[in-house]
Amino acid sequence: ADYITTVSPTYAREILTPEFGFGLEGVLRNREDQLLGILNGIDADRWNPETDSYLPAKYSVMDRSGKLLCKRSLQQEFQLPETTAPVLGMIARLTSQKGLDLVATVIPQLMAMDLQLVILGTGEPDLEARFKKLQARYPHRMGLRIGFDEGLAHRIEAGADIFVMPSRYEPCGLSQLYSLRYGTVPVVRKIGGLADTVVPLTRDAQQVGRATGFYIEEDGADALLAVLRSAVQ
């Protein structure tokens, strides 16, 4: 090929390393001058809170009142109390690559905080079983749907306050882009396309009105929990 592309600039650099190259890093380094990361995009018509037919209420950046109605409806859909507590949303394959083992580890600490958690996804049988046990333990704080439901995915993006993506590697990621489109604050691992699409909350970024989310800098349950605490605050 004359050129080799992948789906984000950061991932194009990451796959030149053994950690992310999975054995192809040498081949890719030999073609580094012809390797380019082009950031993925989303269908902004299909994912549009002003026109989304899956939502119980529409909203926009100018009138966000419908987002609160989406939150209330999401709480009802997952049979959670209709409180003002932040709702954390996740739509992911239930795998360690997506960091879901870390999420399962910190759920007891999260459930001690004033928040709710909703998860949609399928994946590794042991993780599915683990999340089912956790949901049974915290039925009024945690909602779980094993499977995939496109309409529900749209409603989670619209109804959640915070979206969580603690992936161990992520070539681009689309859910954080949907979250930004729907006014739901993304909490993402600082890797791949997640690092290219989310501007973390820092003092400088806040002063110029540029911050759009939070970075998880390290791979670990403690790091995930610390950033989620900051996001909830």
Using one digit for the tens of pLDDT, what is the confidence trace for 163-217? 999 999 999 999 999 999 999 999 999 999 999 999 999 878 777 778 999 999 9
Q: How much is the pLDDT for 206?
A: 75
Distance CA 117, CA 103 (A): 11
Task: State whether residue 187 is helix, strand or coil.
Answer: strand
Neighbour-count burial for 82-119, b at 16+ CB within 10 Å, e otherwise: eeebbbbbbbbebbeebbbbbbbbbbeebbebebbbbb
| pLDDT band per the 50, 70, 90 thresholds, residue 81 | very high
Confidence at residue 208, expressed as pLDDT on a 0 to 100 scale? 76
Q: Tell whether the torsion through CA atoms of 116, 121, 123 and 126 is positive or negative.
A: positive
Predicted confidence (pLDDT) per residue in 64-78, tens digit: 999 999 999 999 999
- Tokens in use for 102? 């870390």
